[in-house]
A and B are shown apart, each in its own frame.
Chain A
Amino acid sequence: MSDKVLMKGNEALAEAAIMAGCRHYLGYPITPQTEVAAYMSKRLPKIGGTFLQAESEIAAINMVIGVSAAGKRVMTSSSSPGIALKSEGLSYLAGCDLPALVVNVQRGGPGLGGIQPSQSDYFQATRSAGHGDFRMIVLAPSSVQEMADLTIKGFELADKYRMTAMILSDGILGQMMEPVQLNFGDIKQHDKPWAVTGTGCQREKNVISSLYLKPEQLEDKNRERYLRYAAIEENETMVEEYQMDDADVCVVAYGAAARISKNAIDLAREKGIKAGLIRPITLWPFPKQILRSAAERVSAFVVTELSMGQMIEDVELAIRCMRPVLLCNRTGGMVMTPEEVLEKIEKAYSIGGTV
């Protein structure tokens, strides 16, 4: 008990980043992620780090590129419209094979939208973070504890595969307070022989660039990068399963929506409907195989998300449309109740079967 602290999700994430060795935070305030920046502004100067409030999100992400090129663990955070501004930089990070941790505490969109929680940046995170062929590792926490745990994981994976890891959170997880334990044991650090740290006249210079004017070279580079992505899909996919052993209806949900879905599953079981949850913790890589094999056992799926229906497309693809997939959703900052999810579970149960 005594080593637990009461933290907001945004604070837990920021403290975990510091514990992971991140000493450089570049960002710009936006609700509902501002506590990340506020926390870093208080802590980093005291431990020899750099907190910098950039003039814009675009400036911040470009500073991230610079710090990462110098071989340091670096982070930026924003909320939905701010992440859109970072698109170009995210693509450059990928093109330069640079590791970084980027946090999106999602709010309702499109446009300026609103400041209340949302999950409508799923496509943005898993598909269209920027131009060109590239992927980001996308981690979706579902508690304040996971805001911290996945931040550590994110830094480790980013360094290991030399790419961006994104924490895809939302206004609920960022703002809510829960007790959290900040003990992470050994945190993996990686050698970065590619970093631009000065040659000291002892070695060839390192160059960080995303520019390849020869098409053959650019194609090779892209293919090489996708081999790395294949290894990530093979090795790094993470899910949590809840009550799936005997489930007839499988709910698929991530983040805050998964928390609500768990309550709905408990309600369904009280009514005699065997429901279970598969919660993707990595949204990319997406747990395709796990869902595909669940489709052999369950009769229907319910996808719960705070969007007009984005992850549902990945679920339908993963299960090859073998079973009916129902959507339970709210948007714009509205959040579904467990009862609304229960209603969809009951409906899925009644129509379940082969499509």
Chain B
Amino acid sequence: MVSYDNIRRVTVFAGHYGSGKTNLAINYALMLRKSLERVAIADLDIVNPYFRTEDSRTAIEEAGVRFISSRYANSNAELPSIPAESYAIIEDTSYHTVVDVGGDDRGALVLGRYAPKLLTQDYDMFLIVNKYRPLTRDSNGTVEICKEIEVASGLTFTGIINNSNLGLETTVETVLASQAYAEEIALSTGLPLRLTAVREDLNDHLQGKIENLLPIKLYHSLGGRFFS
């Protein structure tokens, strides 16, 4: 299980396009809410109008998590806008805030606006990695994207979350086979491997085999929405 001792006030989820940032951010915020009274999640994705935290607004708000999102999110208007309320991320220090940004350096660019203030505060920025995404299959490709995001955001990563998965085809073996990959990235970036995210039903099978597991639910899947 995750240790709550070193939870920072602001946690930013960044990484390669399609690495699972949004779903992880939602899971992480809901997990924080179990032990913290004031938790917020901010959707700063200005890249993809198709998958948004907004899709899970009900689940987030019902759990008592404050939801900060552009009013244009899910309006299909394709406006890369960010809400004024997003300044609460840095200014309302009574909240623990989880920040979901868009993929790659293009998505991370939006962080530049908050970076100078964030750097003076208590924050984590996690690099989400998935060995089974085509452009981040090896540690070299992943480290390259890591550096691009740091340049674009003006922030430095503080840890890695291994979110290696093959969607619904993910098995215990899929996760185990990604361990060496995640450790290699940790080694070449000097960043600690903070968590390994696994689908809830796999969690029990991986206990004792992998440290710091984060069991997650799949909150929103386009395929699942239409085909299941």
Known: A115-B49, A259-B227, A335-B226. A5 touches B78 (CB 8 A): no
Residue from B76, B167, B227, B228 whose CB has the most chain A CB atoms within 10 Å: B227
Are A260 and B226 within 8 A (Cβ)? Answer: yes
Q: Which residues of chain B (214-228) have a CB below 8 Å from chain A?
A: 221-223, 226-228
Point out the residue from A1, A32, A38, A175 that lies within 8 Å of B166, measured CB to CB. Answer: A1
Q: Which residues of chain B (27-75) have a CB below 8 Å from chain A?
A: 49-51
Point out the residue from B49, B130, B227 that lies within 8 Å of A6, measured CB to CB. Answer: B130
A214 interface hit (Cβ, 8 Å): no
Q: Which residues of chain B (142-190) have a CB below 8 Å from chain A?
A: 165-167, 169, 171, 173-174, 177
Point out the residue from A1, A42, A43, A177 that lies within 8 Å of B18, measured CB to CB. Answer: A177
Are A42 and B135 within 8 A (Cβ)? Answer: yes
Instruction: Fill in one digit per residue for B3-27: 1 if any A CB lies within 8 Å of its CB, else 0.
Output: 0000000000000011000000000
Known: A1-B174, A6-B132, A8-B18. A177 touches B78 (CB 8 A): no
Q: Which residues of chain A (1-22) have a CB below 8 Å from chain B?
A: 1-2, 4-8, 11, 15
Q: Which residues of chain B (96-116) have a CB below 8 Å from chain A?
A: none
Point out the residue from B49, B134, B167, B169 that lies within 8 Å of A31, measured CB to CB. Answer: B49
Chain A residues closer than 8 Å to B227, beta-carbon distance: 259-260, 263
Point out the residue from A2, A15, A38 that lies within 8 Å of B17, measured CB to CB. Answer: A38
Known: A4-B169, A31-B50, A31-B78. A172 touches B134 (CB 8 A): no
A114 to B17 Cα, complex, angstroms? 23
Are B226 and A5 within 8 A (Cβ)? Answer: no
Chain B residues closer than 8 Å to A177, beta-carbon distance: 18, 167, 221-223
Residue from A8, A15, A182 whose CB has the most chain B CB atoms within 10 Å: A8
Residue total for A at the interface (Cβ-Cβ under 8 A)? 33
Q: Is the interface of B mostly helix, strand, loop or mixed?
A: loop
A194 to B63 Cα, complex, angstroms? 65
Are B226 and A259 within 8 A (Cβ)? Answer: yes
Chain A residues closer than 8 Å to B165, beta-carbon distance: 6
Q: Can you name the residue of chain B whose Cβ is closest to the Cβ of A42?
A: B135
Q: Can you name the residue of chain B whose Cβ is closest to the Cβ of A108?
A: B76
Chain A residues closer than 8 Å to B194, beta-carbon distance: none
* Min C-beta distance of B182 to chain A, whole Å: 16
Are A175 and B50 within 8 A (Cβ)? Answer: yes
Are B166 and A171 within 8 A (Cβ)? Answer: no
* Min C-beta distance of A181 to chain B, whole Å: 11
Using CB atoms and an 8 Å cutoff, list the residues of chain B in contact with chain A: 17-18, 49-51, 76, 78, 130, 132-135, 137, 165-167, 169, 171, 173-174, 177, 221-223, 226-228
The 10 A-B pairs of least Cβ separation, nearest first, read A176-B222, A6-B132, A179-B166, A176-B223, A175-B50, A5-B134, A179-B169, A259-B227, A115-B76, A6-B166
